[in-house]
């Protein structure tokens, strides 16, 4: 982290989707902060609200069916949820950029990579077309695209999956944003390319000096790159801690279960990984008690009746759980 200045603060964010089947309670009162230069990992199973939370920050939720019901997103003393669409367009891409999950569906298949790279530069900078082209070549070279100058006129289908993801990273970094949000950018790639992309993003983050939010369902990915971790379940934050604290001392049963399902070199003698019993919750019903209670090995009567709030236990380590997982008794 470059310093201790908090430049993003999310308070009680709630996002709903009103569908013919009913209301989907996608994000349920999420609150967190981010410091300049910090890397925050957001982890959890698919459907837990990670991506919707970050899309809500940038107001990229489709309305309808989606709706940001309440909350504040304070970025450099401005509430992003209260800005006009025109004001938001000046922030998206320039100050806060996002890398999406699937580059094949995020890139326009009929436009050249050069055209898509320079669009952000034309929108947010005073560069002329020649300067935009030179900057685009520099960006492609920066992210490791060979023969960058001649590849500007290629279309997305002419690039491999890993190369398309590199192009997406180049587009996100075009205006050197203060915050980069990466939404599972390595999910569709093979393991070797995943490692290359993760190392690339880590290096570029250091070069640019930006903060980063890395969304993933894989706790193994964040061990070597995050400063702090948020664990989400059913649209709630259930645990928040510094990355080393989370691995060494998980305080929520869901976090413990995720870690036990993770292959680790120091557990090579164990024959089988542990799986989380049951199924993810139905988000069409707002939980009365703890949403993890039906799958929890520590469940108590109070867990079924009351949903615990996120509470700091020690030194910035927070959890939303009634149970002390070390003793198995109520806190």
Residues forming a β-bridge with 215: 42, 183
Averaged pLDDT, 6-33: 91
Phi, psi of 285 (to 5 degrees): -125, 125
Computed from CA positions of residues 283, 289, 290, 296, in that sequence, does the dihedral angle turn out positive or negative? negative
Question: Closest Cα to residue 91, out of 108, 113, 74, 68?
Answer: 74
Tell me the mean pLDDT in the region 196-201: 78
pLDDT tens track for 127-163: 888 888 888 898 888 888 888 888 888 898 888 877 8
Tens-digit pLDDT profile for residues 202-217: 887 887 788 899 998 8
DSSP state letter for 201: H
Task: Indicate the DSSP class of residue 218.
Answer: -
Paired with 73 in beta bridges are 10
Residue 296 φ/ψ, nearest 5 degrees:
-95, 135
pLDDT in the model for residue 2: 37
Q: Where are the alpha helices (DSSP H) in the chain?
A: 50-57, 85-91, 103-106, 113-124, 129-142, 148-151, 161-172, 191-208, 219-222, 243-248, 253-260, 301-305
Instruction: Provide Rg for the chain, Cα atoms.
Output: 21
Tokens of 217: 């369902």
CB-neighbour burial class of residue 48 (10 A; exposed 0-12, middle 13-18, buried 19+): buried
The rounded mean pLDDT for the chain is: 85
Q: Integer distance in angstroms from the first to the last C-alpha of the chain?
A: 33
Q: What is the pLDDT of residue 54?
A: 92
Distances (CA, A) of 94 to 61, 119, 122, 206: 19, 12, 11, 18
Per-residue model confidence (pLDDT) at position 165: 81
pTM given for the model: 0.86
Per-residue pLDDT at 129? 87
Task: Give whole-number Cα distances, 331 to 239, 311, 323, in Å.
Answer: 15, 11, 5
């Amino acid at each position: 982290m470059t310093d201790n200045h908090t430049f993003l603060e999310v308070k009680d964010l709630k996002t709903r989707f009103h569908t013919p089947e009913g209301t989907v309670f996608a994000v349920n009162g999420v609150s967190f902060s981010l410091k300049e230069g910090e890397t925050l990992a957001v982890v959890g199973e698919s459907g837990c609200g990670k991506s919707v939370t970050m899309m809500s920050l940038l107001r990229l939720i489709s309305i309808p069916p989606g709706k940001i019901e309440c909350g504040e997103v304070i970025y450099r003393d401005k509430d992003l949820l209260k800005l006009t669409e025109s004001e938001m367009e000046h922030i998206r891409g320039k100050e806060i950029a996002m890398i999406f999950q699937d580059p094949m569906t995020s890139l326009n298949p009929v436009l050249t990579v050069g055209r898509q790279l320079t669009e952000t530069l034309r929108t947010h900078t005073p560069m002329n077309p020649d300067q935009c082209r030179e900057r685009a070549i520099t960006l492609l070279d920066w992210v490791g695209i060979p023969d960058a100058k001649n590849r500007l006129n290629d279309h997305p289908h002419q690039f491999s999956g890993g190369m398309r993801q590199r192009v997406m990273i180049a587009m996100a970094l075009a205006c050197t944003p203060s915050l980069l949000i990466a939404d599972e950018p390595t999910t569709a790639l093979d393991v070797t390319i995943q490692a290359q992309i993760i190392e690339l993003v880590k290096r570029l983050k250091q070069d640019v000096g930006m903060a980063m939010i890395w969304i993933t369902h894989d706790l193994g990915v964040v061990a070597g790159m995050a400063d702090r971790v948020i664990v989400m379940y059913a649209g709630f934050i259930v645990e928040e801690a510094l990355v080393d604290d989370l691995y060494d001392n998980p305080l929520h049963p869901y976090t413990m279960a995720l870690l036990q399902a993770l292959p680790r070199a120091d557990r090579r003698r164990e024959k089988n990984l542990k799986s989380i019993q049951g199924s993810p919750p139905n988000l069409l019903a707002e939980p009365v008690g703890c949403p993890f209670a039906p799958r929890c090995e520590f469940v108590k009567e109070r867990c079924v009746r009351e949903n615990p709030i996120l509470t700091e236990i020690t030194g910035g380590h927070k959890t939303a759980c009634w149970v002390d997982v070390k003793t198995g008794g109520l806190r």
